[in-house]
Chains A and B, each alone.
Chain A
Amino acid sequence: MSTLVEYVGNVAETVTTIFEGMAITFSHFVRRPMTIQYPDRIEKPVQEMLPLRYRGILEVDLDICTGCLACERVCPITCITIGIEMNKETKQRSFSHFDIDICKCMYCGLCAEICPTGSIRHSQEFEGACYNPAGLVRHFVTEPVPLYKPKKGGETDAQMITKVELGLKYLDEFATPEEKVGGAGAEEG
């Protein structure tokens, strides 16, 4: 008798569980798919949807770079090479080259953390496909650029103010350790 009860119970369990399972999958059938149809058929590019702290390909704003070489020194795999020349007559120091090899970069973020002005930073760009490795070396200097020197009484040029503020804001968001107020830790919660 108990065998018969078990038998009928098995049949009933099979039918009811399949019924319930079919209901679950049908409810998923009418839900919006999670897929983001990269790279097209989305409202705005993926780059614009990424958070500020996203570690994309490195970019340098040479207008606010002091040429302290901290990034070059801290980089564990020396993918950053900076050349600085001094003009003998004007005593003006300027960049001769500032290259970042994206092939080597491991996106650790140490250079962006240590930069005093926030001029080197991770962009939201991540599409680096290219036909040969040489194309992945980013050259930021096309003609010699003078080094940035912070003015004593603060910036006066409006364009420079926004650039400096942007750099400091990036530093605040990206490089500030988690314990500090207003840093990245607060944003993530």
Chain B
Amino acid sequence: MQAFVDQLIQEGYFPGLPKEIIYLGAMLLAALVVLSFFVAPLAGITSWLERRVWARMQSRVGPNRVGPQGILQWLADGIKNLLKEDIIPSAADKWLFVLAPYIVFVGFLATFVVIPFGSQLIVADLNIGIFYLLAVTSLVVVGILMAGWASNNKWSLLGGMRSAAQIVSYEIPAGLAVLTIIFVAGTMSMQGIIKAQGWAPWDWFLFYNPFTFVAFFLYFTAALAEGNRTPFDIPEAESELVAGYVTEYSGMRFLFFFFAEWGNLYVIGAIATTLFLGGWQVPPVTDNPVLIGVLQFMVFFLKAYFWVFVAMWVRGTLPRVRVDQLMSACWKYLVPLSFVSLLGTAAWMVLYPKGNRLASFGMFLMGVAILLLFFKRVNYQIRHSRPEIYWKPYI
């Protein structure tokens, strides 16, 4: 990104302007383009897709009226929310109440700076990329706590407090799982981590050794909890807290929180893909740089979006956990297990400093076996109830 702007300055596109102003303009333009042409449609379509996937898992149809198969539902929702009255409770702390959605949104949007969509397609390849990611996603908790406090409503406050406790707790297993990968890759740069892996599944860090395999699931669980997703959505548990920290919000401010939540799903998937699933690595099939770029983007996008689907699927499967269960699951199970995976990986690296291809391949075969077992169980469910099968995604 910076190299590209420097090149433009060299070629004399912006005569007489100070360098700082050009950089500022370029950054704003990049943020605007990313926000309006990638993040906004992505979060919107994710919201629609989630409702469709969830509905199908409950034998319903889901929104399918606005546009073909309801794909424009998110636009209708957005327009409706824009037209709604923006209510600020009279007893609320006005400035914090107004500021909170933006903080949440900034915390989510800043992650897109380091997400590597391709070998060239990255805003800034920071050498502390993943560290930066962990730092800015923690900003979300500030916004949520602010929203809960400023609303001056006991449900909001409880939701905010729960969210703070939850995110702070789950940061630890997530951080340790990420640290496992930093051990193996030897770098914190997002591109560096991807370059340390290969295109083939057995070159991914997911199958590097049994401990990284466990670390992946630990990371995914902890990330779901950090994103306030079911089964860890106690901050906005509607049966206990109405809507948690968003209770008092209305109109577009309300939507900003959910915008961040759905966008955050993709960020979770993207981080998981970068760390464990080989990122944009593609098999060497062509020499055309443009074609390679497109292929890398598609591979990365699909891998990341698969985990978005899994998050929807988990939401359709698991019930919400209680507060005490949430805390005991984190401190009694996830934290010790992530320490085990960290130490195990460290020991593995002492034993095999160059990695063990045979063990990786064995782990890959085990992954395939788990997948086969899974489809066997699905087949069992279908055979026993003899339902009417309907493969088509549309209805």
Give residues in A with beta carbon < 8 Å to B. 10-11, 14, 18-35, 37
Contact = CB atoms under 8 A, between A and B. Distances in A.
Interface stretch (B55-63, B101-109, B151-159, B357-365): B55-63
**Which bracket fits the contact residues of B?**
20 to 34
Contacts of A14: 333
B313 A31 contact: no
Interface string B22-65: 00000000000000000000000000000001011111110000
19 contacts: A18-B317, A22-B317, A23-B377, A23-B380, A23-B381, A25-B316, A25-B317, A26-B57, A26-B378, A27-B378, A27-B382, A28-B58, A29-B53, A29-B313, A32-B387, A32-B389, A33-B390, A35-B60, A37-B395
A interface: dominant SS: helix
B314 interface: yes
B178 to A, nearest CB: 21
A33 B61 contact: yes
B interface: dominant SS: helix
A31 B316 contact: no
B4 interface: no
B49 to A, nearest CB: 13
Nearest to A26: B378
Contacts of B53: 29
A21 B317 contact: yes
B387 A31 contact: yes
B183 interface: no
Contacts of B21: none
B292 to A, nearest CB: 34
B287 interface: no
A31 to B, nearest CB: 4
B53, B317, B388, most chain A CB atoms within 10 A: B317
Given A27-B381, A31-B388, A31-B389, A22 B313 contact: yes
